[in-house]
Amino acid sequence: MQAIVDFILEVDRLKAVTRKIRLRDSDRYENSAEHSWQLALLASSLAPHAPAGIDMDRVIRMLLVHDIGEIDTGDTMAFVEGGWEERKAAELAAVRRIFGLLPASEGGPLLALWQEFDDAQTPEAIFANAVDRAMPVLLNLANQGQSWRENGISHERVVRRVGPPIEAGCPALWRYLEVRLAEAREREFFGA
């Protein structure tokens, strides 16, 4: 029991990992814990548009743990280029440390879920990655492009970066977003 308590108090620190996007209702920047919660809800709401036969419960569990490595590394915006391998190695070391606080029977499956998300090969992981890429786009569309403008991100760069993974995991969502992103360009929601 103490191992479980140590683990859950350690992951509390994900609430203090700040992302680049602000909440709709306040000027506070979003943190990675509440982001993970929202992704789990978005995934389950998208069920009618998810690939047939997908195990949605595994998607949800994957999304709940996919950012835990950021406790040691911090959030990296999806648009940063370079240094990718080093950051991935650091995140892997972090999740090994953190899931290693649990007994192997519990920590092992969580590490496997994290790895599955990161590898993005199974239908569940491809869908989960689509959801992870789509949520900040939805918030930016509702937010006059706040994080795109603050970070100098162009329409072209967003489409190039998030289009392929969202289309691969949830084509109906990408068809929706593509139209909204074009409208957002007209409204000058982008930073470059």
Residues that bind a second copy (CB under 8 A): 1-2, 4-5, 7-9, 11-16, 23-26, 28, 30-31, 33-34, 36-38, 40-42, 44-49, 57, 60-61, 64-65, 102-103, 105-106, 110, 135, 138-139, 142, 172-173, 176
Q: Residue 80 CB, nearest distance to a second copy (Å)? A: 23
- Closest to a second copy by CB, 34 vs 118, is 34
Which is closer to a second copy, CB of 56 or CB of 78?
56
Q: Judge whether 114 and 97 are in contact, CB under 8 Å.
A: no
Cβ at position 128, least distance to a second copy in Å = 15
In the complex, least distance from residue 107 CB atom to a second copy, rounded to whole angstroms: 9
Sign of torsion over alpha carbons 155, 159, 160, 162 = positive
Nearest distance from C-beta of residue 142 to a second copy, angstroms: 5
Give 86 or 144: the residue with its C-beta nearer to a second copy: 144
CB of 83 to a second copy, least distance (A): 25
**Complex with a second copy: residue 26 or 81, whichever CB lies closer:** 26
CB of 84 or CB of 115, closer to a second copy: 115
